[in-house]
A and B are shown apart, each in its own frame.
Chain A
Amino acid sequence: NAGVTQTPKFQVLKTGQSMTLQCAQDMNHEYMSWYRQDPGMGLRLIHYSVGAGITDQGEVPNGYNVSRSTTEDFPLRLLSAAPSQTSVYFCASSYMPGTVNSPLHFGNGTRLTVT
């Protein structure tokens, strides 16, 4: 049981490049989400999904796309990277919110630098 797996762990991009951050979970969780974490800002929600085929925007969605074609996978796409997207990105999953004690389980993070 691997939990939440994120790849890559580190990435350096040039401004304007695109890339996909991968996230997979093997806990059969319906709910998946992406956060970014910046110094002094805390964790901010980018996008989330309550099940396959369903996605919604979080607090800071601009510049990012997501899709949820399967229960297990929730990739995050940067369309045209900008230095403001330099951050640590965390994918997290849980059973459906509203079920008793459904905490988020986090991946180990992707450290992205955009130059």
Chain B
Amino acid sequence: GQNIDQPTEMTATEGAIVQINCTYQTSGFNGLFWYQQHAGEAPTFLSYNVLDGLEEKGRFSSFLSRSKGYSYLLLKELQMKDSASYLCAVRDEGNNRLAFGKGNQVVVIP
């Protein structure tokens, strides 16, 4: 089975940097995904990590440590449109199921 833990909410100022953490426990690991979900909309894919280290995509970066069961998503130069829920999801190696955490709500204020 899988157990994924994320903090629930954080507030940050426009232009700032915010780090969203995700810890997980799984019997077999086959990749970690980050998604963004605006209120009332579908989740959209942000980043993917399967090996340890940092993946950078523009203003967003994601880090993975498989030995620690830990990932973070780093949002730089925050913009108002970044106000959303950020979902961490882990794929199980055995059955290929993708399990989601409950999401972290980020509120960006001027």
Interface residues of A (CB under 8 A from B): 31, 33, 35, 40-45, 48, 50, 56, 58-59, 90, 96-98, 101, 103-109
Q: Contact check, B48 vs A42: say whether CB atoms are below 8 A apart.
A: no
Interface residues of B (CB under 8 A from A): 30-31, 33, 41-45, 48, 87, 89, 91, 95-103
Contacts of A59 in B (CB 8 A): 97, 99
Query: Residue B98 contacts which of A45, A56, A105, A108 (CB distance < 8 angstroms)?
Result: A45
Contacts of B42 in A (CB 8 A): 90, 106-109
Contacts of A101 in B (CB 8 A): 48
Contacts of A43 in B (CB 8 A): 43, 87, 89, 100
Q: Is the interface of B mostly helix, strand, loop or mixed?
A: strand
Q: A98-B30, A105-B45, A109-B41 are in contact. List 18 more A-B contacts (CB 8 A).
A: A41-B102, A42-B102, A42-B103, A43-B100, A45-B97, A45-B99, A48-B97, A58-B97, A59-B99, A90-B43, A97-B30, A97-B91, A98-B96, A104-B43, A104-B45, A104-B98, A106-B43, A108-B42
Q: Contact check, A97 vs B96: say whether CB atoms are below 8 A apart.
A: yes
In this complex, what residue of A is CB-closest to B98?
A104
Contacts of B41 in A (CB 8 A): 108-109
A43–B96 Cα gap in the complex (Å)?
Answer: 16
Q: What would 10 A/B residue contacts be, using CB atoms closer than 8 Å? A: A40-B102, A43-B43, A43-B87, A44-B100, A96-B96, A98-B30, A103-B48, A104-B43, A104-B45, A105-B45
